[in-house]
Each structure stands twice: as structure tokens, then as C-alpha cells.
């Protein structure tokens, strides 16, 4: 069924509001984010916000939902598509770094989002955990195949997530000059050196 003109306009408004909200929440956090400012940024009046979202909290959740879902999905896709463990690690770091560069504002929100919104935290922390656990499974399998050293798969997977996040943050703060590919290569190489059984002398 074709979209009516109203639906198109409504979709456009909705995403304009989400973009504005992302910008403002990234700048000031949840508690500090001001709805008047979001409305202005979106080019509408404050009252209009309430035609599309129930209130501040729902708006915030809508931003997080959308962006985290996207990040989770693209990470899973690329990690699962990779054939070898090393490629999976490279894929993981690269997707995250690319996302970090492309959607700075969302990553700023992610950093703050450590404890707020306790109600829905389980949901979000699942979305964070899932890709890491896919990595962990691949690591465990590589260990059992004897491809790499005997390491605790889950811990290592989280370590990979941690150094990737750190690299992204340093990029967001303006340090670190190279391309995301270079950064991903470096990270993958570092981790691989820790996993390798016996590098040639």
C-alpha cells in the first residue's frame, strides 16, 4: 500500500526529531537535554514533539533503541560473515570504528549511558553483549581446534571490545590521525599476537 503524503511528512518529521534529539542528548546528556532546544534544532515547536513522542524519556529511548539496534545488527552481520577468527576480530573492530566515525553523537551518548534508564538496561546490555558473545564463541572454537593458545574466550572477547571502544573514544576526542582501517589492522594485530600459539622467531 502506497504511503500517503501525510505519512511521508510524518516520517520525515519523526526522523528530524530523532536527529535533533541525538544531537542535543549527545551534547548535554539525558538530564541536561532540553526539549525546547531539541524542538528548535528540529525546526518545529515544542508542542509538536508531543505529537510524535510521549515525552522526554520516550524520545531518549527512541534514539538509543534505533542506534543500538543498528550497531548491534551491523556488527553481527559482519562478524558472522567473516570466515576465520582473525577475520572476525578484524571485522568487529572495523565495524565499530566505522560506526564511531560515522555516528559520533550516538557514541557520545553510549559513553554516558552507563546507569541511567535502569528499567530498560537489561535490553540494552543484551544488545551490547550479543556481538561480544559471538566473538567469544568463535574464540572458544578456535581454542578447541588448537588454532590459538588456550585463553578464556569470554574475557578475551571483552578485552577486544574494550580496546576498540577506547580507540573510538580517542578518535572522538580528536587524537589519533590514521584511517579506521589502519586502526583496525593495528588492533587486530595486537590481539592476534596475544592469541597466537608460536610466532616464528
Partner DNA sequence: CAATAAAATGACCGTATGGTCAGTGACAAG
Partner DNA sequence: CTTGTCACTGACCATACGGTCATTTTATTG
Contact 60, 117 (CB under 8 A): yes
Instruction: Tell me the C-alpha distance between 138 and 144, whole Å.
Output: 10
Q: Which of 3, 8, 9, 149 binds DNA (CB under 7 A)?
A: 9
Q: Which of 3, 15, 55, 84 binds DNA (CB under 7 A)?
A: 55
185: cell is: 589492522
Q: Is 19 in the site for DNA (CB under 7 A)?
A: no
User: Residue 17 in 3-state DSSP?
Assistant: helix
- Binding at 45: pick from DNA, a copy of itself, none (beta carbon under 5-8 Å per type): DNA
Instruction: Tell me the C-alpha distance between 39 and 21, whole Å.
Output: 8
The CB-of-132 to DNA minimum distance in angstroms stands at 33
190: cell is: 595486537
Residues that bind a copy of itself (CB under 8 A): 27-29, 31-32, 108, 111-112, 114-116, 149, 151-152, 155-156, 158-159, 161-163, 165-167, 169-170, 186-187, 190-191, 193-195, 197-199, 201
Q: Is 6 in the site for DNA (CB under 7 A)?
A: yes
Instruction: Tell me the C-alpha distance between 23 and 108, whole Å.
Output: 10
Contact 52, 84 (CB under 8 A): no
The CB-of-169 to a copy of itself minimum distance in angstroms stands at 8
Residue 139 has, within 13 A of its CA and on its CB side, a CA count of 26
Q: Is 44 in the site for DNA (CB under 7 A)?
A: yes
The CB-of-65 to DNA minimum distance in angstroms stands at 17
> Applying CB under 7 A, which residues contact DNA?
5-6, 9-10, 13, 32-36, 44-48, 50-51, 55-57
Amino acid at each position: 500500500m502506497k504511503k500517503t503524503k501525510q505519512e511521508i511528512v510524518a516520517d520525515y518529521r519523526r526522523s528530524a526529531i530523532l536527529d535533533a534529539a541525538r544531537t542535543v542528548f549527545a551534547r548535554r546528556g539525558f538530564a541536561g537535554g532540553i526539549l525546547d532546544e531539541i524542538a528548535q534544532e528540529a525546526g518545529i515547536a515544542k508542542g509538536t514533539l508531543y505529537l510524535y513522542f510521549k515525552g522526554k524519556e520516550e524520545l531518549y529511548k527512541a534514539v538509543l533503541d534505533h542506534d543500538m539496534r543498528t550497531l548491534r545488527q551491523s556488527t553481527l552481520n559482519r562478524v558472522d560473515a567473516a570466515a576465520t577468527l582473525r577475520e572476525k576480530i578484524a571485522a568487529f573492530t572495523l565495524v565499530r570504528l566505522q560506526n564511531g566515525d560515522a555516528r559520533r553523537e550516538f557514541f557520545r551518548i553510549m559513553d554516558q549511558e552507563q546507569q541511567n534508564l535502569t528499567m530498560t538496561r537489561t535490553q540494552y546490555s543484551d544488545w551490547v553483549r550479543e556481538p561480544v558473545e559471538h566473538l567469544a564463541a568463535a574464540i572458544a572454537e578456535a581454542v578447541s581446534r588448537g588454532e590459538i593458545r588456550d585463553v578464556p574466550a569470554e574475557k578475551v572477547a571483552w578485552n577486544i571490545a574494550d580496546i576498540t571502544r577506547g580507540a573510538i573514544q580517542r578518535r572522538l576526542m580528536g587524537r589519533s590521525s590514521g584511517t579506521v582501517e589502519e586502526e583496525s589492522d593495528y588492533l587486530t594485530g595486537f590481539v592476534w599476537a596475544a592469541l597466537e600459539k608460536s610466532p616464528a622467531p
